[in-house]
Amino acid sequence: MANRSLFLKLLSAFVVFGAWEIAGRIPVSYAFPTFFESMAALFKMMFDGSLLAAYAETLKPLAIGILISAFLGIAIGLWIGLSGWFDWLFSPIFIVMQAAPLAALIPLLVMMYGIGLTSKVFVVCIMAMPVIVLNTAGAVRNTPSSLTEMGKSFLASKAEVITKIIVPAASPVIFSGLRLGISAGFIGAILSELKITPTGVGDIITYSRSIADYATMYAAIFSIIVLAVLFLNFLEKIEKFFFAGNVRGYASD
């Protein structure tokens, strides 16, 4: 099964990169480089240290924003899922946050918090937290009542019911929300660098586009995608380790 999963992943990558190379050679656009040109630019940035320096800037708001979103998002989601009153009061806020156009909110954040790290962290949180909160709340609300009733019949305390029954039962959906939220957080981190101040990987993308160095621009975008995929796979491993009994399979398998 593991070999089959690896084979399918490699085959999928081969098809996508092959199509990218063919599209670049046709070309579909003068601004669309080939896969090998983009990879050459990527390795050049890796070896001269510019990509590492860029990620040192990009990962600051991303890491802070994801940590805040994960801890507060899961905590608020649990509270919303467990309390009907809290659900009525706060769920609409996160639904609006998820639906609101982020580009329209960025100028307001800049006016309030400037163009520094704080604004960028807020952009990451606005992108990531609603997904985590709503998925966590939904998972908790949909925990089978038979499980909670069984726990109460065995004289489990409320804290034990939450930690030993509700959270493990809801863990697959909670981790799905984390993966989606972190994916949105990556988008928010790059968007903040493109819209607020051109720093980090966003600066590479903006500068490369301005001088028509499209291979470098696509290489920077590709590196973001690879980092996001690796991190999401890492989250899957964590879920499988802590909640082995609740693992239901992933598309990547």
List pLDDT tens digits, range 226-250.
Answer: 888 888 888 777 777 766 655 544 4
Residues with Cβ within 8 Å of residue 98, at least 6 apart in sequence: 130, 131, 134
**Chain centroid to CA 220:** 17
The whole-number pLDDT of residue 245 equals: 54
Distance between CA atoms of residues 106 and 101, nearest Å: 9
Contact criterion met (CB below 8 Å) for 92 and 109: no
Q: What is the pLDDT of residue 2?
A: 55
3-state helix, strand, coil in the chain (%, to 5): 85, 0, 15
Exposed (0-12), middle (13-18) or buried (19+): which is 249, by Cβ within 10 Å?
exposed
* Domains of the chain and CATH, by start: 68-244 (1.10.3720.10)
Mean pLDDT of 6-31: 83
In single-letter form, the type of residue at position 165 comes to I
- 109-136 pLDDT, tens per residue? 777 777 778 888 888 888 888 889 988 8
Q: Tokens 């939904």 map to which residue? A: 138
Q: What is the pLDDT of residues 180-219, one digit of tens each?
A: 888 888 888 888 888 777 778 888 888 888 888 899 999 9
How sure is the predictor about 162, in pLDDT bands with cuts at 50, 70 and 90? confident
Task: Give the per-residue pLDDT at 252.
Answer: 43
2: helix, strand or coil: helix
